[in-house]
Amino acid sequence: MMRSLRPAHLKPIHVVGGGLSGSEAAWQIARRGVPVVLHEMRPDRSTAVHKSGQFAELVCSNSFRSDDAEGSAIGLLHAEMRRLGSLVMRAADTHKLPAGGALAVDREGFAAAITAAIEGAPLIDIRREEILEPPADWDSVIIATGPLTSPALADTIRALTGETALAFFDAIAPIVHRDSIDFDITWFQSRYDKAGPAGSGADYINCPLTRAQYEDFVDALLAGEKIAFHDFEATPYFDGCLPIEVMAERGRETLRHGPMKPFGLTDPHRPAAKPYAVVQLRQDNKLGTLFNMVGFQTKLKHGEQVSIFRTIPGLAKAEFARLGGLHRNTFIDSPKLLDATLRLKAMPRFRFAGQITGCEGYVESAAIGLLAGRFAAAERLDERPLLPPPSTAHGALIGHITGGHIETIESGPHSFQPMNINFGLFPPLGGGTTRAAKKQVFCARALADLDAWISAAGAHAAE
């Protein structure tokens, strides 16, 4: 329920961006009785993909993905958000369409419902303007301007954060769940057993290919269907992050002398047989549950990626936490720059929310907006912001953003990459059960821990 009296003694919190995350953040702040000013540049100034002036416009698909709260990480996130009074989930449930196990929404009805709720909230003051640089007297600001943040504000953020680059032509390699990799075929070893600054000498999972397997793999890459670029993505490739299929086009041996080189590695299962090529996977999160395919950025269609990558020895049953892609995006190096409650360490009056923090997707962006709004409101009310338990979907997601990612040996601006919610981000369970059974235990544990957190945080959380 929304509190309606404007507490005269409270300064407003400024939310910049009325997308999925900014709308949810503003809503959460207002429902705590704290005034908000929501700044949105549309419709006067738009992005390359938004079409309307509505809040929370869905720019592409109308799906919030699986709604299964007992067996899918995204369905669990839906369930948690409902329990936390999410405006985005309320509007999605009201405007849902038939879509099997997925939650798909009527995009017009959805955005109209969010817009009406925000416009009708007495504590939310809407300003239709582009923010170039938040003024110094705004003491609490949430920046939720998304993957297509306006260039002028992106410049300001670059200066605030000291980032050299902010809008990337993102090269994304697929990420695989470790427990779906076959260790009777693969093995742990770093090239030439080098430990490096933070390694053990056995930091990579290696998948060996014979010459015939390599030739078949190159053929499959060349034949595979690719995704076309959007017009607004007319940004050149950096030579350091060429898609694997582009490398394969440059010559049949190129990959074998690039990301698939077999040198400095010995297969302990067949020590006498030298592999012709090797695919390496590198740990991607602190928990050690996720591994990324090194150098495997690709624009192959998702279905093609799954079938082609499962021909790699050791990956026949690979489950992917994320598939590869290449697109323009704007996000900050959150693990380095943000504290546990999403504040900029160097300038805590700024918080970040949504896709700009390094989550991916409508629902994840709204969930991080929800948390940013709760944290900012708690702070304004002189309360200590309570972090969600790491076993919940909210906790797992914010953990990835503010600390779960590990810097890799070849760390650099591309090391931290946006990610959808997935079970690889959750603290692992004991072994012994099937993947399907584990998912159910993850979900049950998360909802029980969320309820305990809501009780600890006070009655407002569940209103």
Residue 396 lies near ligand FAD (rule: CB under 6 A) = no
* Separation of CA 276 from chain center: 35
Q: Does 22 bind ligand FAD (CB under 6 A)?
A: yes
From CA 65, how far away is CA 72, in angstroms rounded?
A: 10
By beta-carbon proximity to ligand FAD, the closer residue of 60 and 272 is 60
Q: CA–CA separation, 187 vs 169, rounded Å?
A: 32
- Chosen residue from 72, 149, 280, 341 binding ligand FAD by CB under 6 A: 149
Cβ atoms of residues 69 and 76 within 8 Å: yes
Instruction: Say if residues 206 and 248 touch (Cβ distance below 8 Å).
Output: no
Q: Which residue has the tokens 């700024």?
A: 350
Nearer to ligand FAD, 144 or 396 (CB): 144
Contacts of 367 (CB under 8 A, 6+ apart): 24, 77, 80, 81, 86, 359, 393, 394, 397, 421
Q: Which stretch binds ligand FAD (CB under 6 A): 72-80, 147-155, 175-183, 442-450?
A: 147-155
Contact 177, 247 (CB under 8 A): no
d(CA 305, CA 176): 12
In this structure, the number of other CB atoms found within 10 A of the CB of residue 9 comes to 5
Q: Is 85 left (phi over 0), alpha (psi -120 to 50) or beta?
A: left
Size of the site for ligand FAD (CB under 6 A): 34
Considering the complex, what minimum distance in angstroms separates the CB of residue 363 from ligand FAD? Answer: 7
Is residue 355 part of the contact set for ligand FAD (CB under 6 A)? yes
- Taking CB atoms, the residue at the shortest distance from ligand FAD is 19
Q: Distance between CA 330 and CA 294 in Å, rounded? A: 22
Q: Find the shortest distance in angstroms from Cβ 334 to ligand FAD.
A: 13
What part of residues 32-51 is at the interface with ligand FAD (CB under 6 A)? Answer: 39-42, 47, 49-50
- Verify binding: residue 94, ligand FAD, rule CB under 6 A: no
Smallest gap, in angstroms, from Cβ of residue 150 to ligand FAD? 4
131 binds ligand FAD (CB under 6 A): yes
Q: Which stretch binds ligand FAD (CB under 6 A): 58-66, 85-93, 288-296, 395-403?
A: 58-66
Q: Rounded CA gap, 302 and 395, in Å?
A: 28
Give the span between the Cα atoms of 53 and 151, in whole angstroms: 19
Contact between 280 and ligand FAD by CB under 6 A: the answer reads no
Question: Segment 398-457, which members bind ligand FAD (CB under 6 A)?
Answer: none
With respect to ligand FAD, which residue has the nearer C-beta, 63 or 254? Answer: 63
145 binds ligand FAD (CB under 6 A): yes
Q: Which two tokens stand for residue 303?
A: 């279905």
- Residue 115: exposed, middle, or buried by beta-carbon count in 10 A (0-12, 13-18, 19+)? buried
- Candidates 7, 11, 44, 61: give the one binding ligand FAD (CB under 6 A): 61
Q: To the nearest whole angstrom, how small is the minimum distance from the Cβ of residue 295 to ligand FAD?
A: 24
d(CA 167, CA 274): 42
Query: Quick one: which segment of 265-273, 356-364, 423-431, 445-453 binds ligand FAD (CB under 6 A)?
Result: 356-364
Range in contact with ligand FAD (rule: CB under 6 A) among 20-28, 211-219, 239-247, 400-408: 20-28
Q: How far apart are CA 179 and CA 420, in angstroms?
A: 18
Residue ranges binding ligand FAD (CB under 6 A): 16-22, 39-42, 47, 49-50, 59-61, 130-131, 144-150, 153, 230, 354-356, 361-362, 365
